[in-house]
Amino acid sequence: MGRHRSDPLGIARLALVGLAAVLLLAVIVVGAGALLSTFGSEEPGSGVASTPSAQPSAGPSTGPSAEPSAPRAPTVRVVCRAERCPVFVRVPGGDVLIDRDLTRGEEASYFQPELDVVLDDASTVQVFENGTVRSPGPAGERQAFSVKRSADQ
């Protein structure tokens, strides 16, 4: 009635379970990092507009800038004017930069050379293309358009 020696298959199974746990943890960490970097791809200070009527200056600014690292106008800037503004922006054929609802006063700015934009209701947002206000669409109208960075920027 002695004890059995260690079962080599039992040890191998434990090693495989441990390896699977480590791999699962690595996948979770990488996925969380990718998710956080997606949220971090939005312009820092997004939603800083203190009032829904805040608008950027069309000319060069002589005072301190809210964005000292970005002296140029964004290729696209979207400001939500309603309670909920569904917005989709991506690099053509590439990364999706935003695909979510903005809330009143929240804004998103992007500086990529070319962008595709889809607005579920074009009347709920104010859109700036290279610093110039885009005409709003009729209430309830879905708009899809592309914007390229202007040559002078």
pLDDT digits (tens, 9 = 90+) for 100-152: 999 999 999 999 999 999 999 999 999 999 999 999 888 999 999 999 998 76
pLDDT score at 129: 96
pLDDT score at 43: 42
Number of domains in the chain: 2
pLDDT score at 7: 72
DSSP notation for 33-87: HHHHHHHHTSPTTTT--SSTT----SS---S--S-TT--SPPSEEEEE-SSEEEE
Whether residue 142 sits in one domain with residue 83: yes
pLDDT score at 64: 43
pLDDT score at 36: 62
67 in a structural domain: no
2 in a structural domain: no
- Give the residue numbers spanning the domain of 99: 76-148
Whether residue 141 sits in one domain with residue 96: yes
pLDDT score at 150: 83
49 in a structural domain: no
Whether residue 137 sits in one domain with residue 83: yes
Whether residue 128 sits in one domain with residue 80: yes
pLDDT score at 54: 36
Please tell me the pTM assigned to this model.
0.54
97 in a structural domain: yes
85 in a structural domain: yes
Joined tokens for residue 141: 């109208």
114 in a structural domain: yes
Q: What is the pLDDT of residues 6-59, one digit of tens each?
A: 677 788 888 888 888 888 887 887 776 766 665 554 443 333 333 333 333 333
61 in a structural domain: no
pLDDT score at 110: 96
Whether residue 144 sits in one domain with residue 83: yes
Whether residue 142 sits in one domain with residue 81: yes
Whether residue 80 sits in one domain with residue 29: no
Whether residue 80 sits in one domain with residue 134: yes
Whether residue 86 sits in one domain with residue 22: no
pLDDT score at 12: 83
Q: What is the pLDDT of residues 72-94, one digit of tens each?
A: 899 999 999 999 999 999 999 99
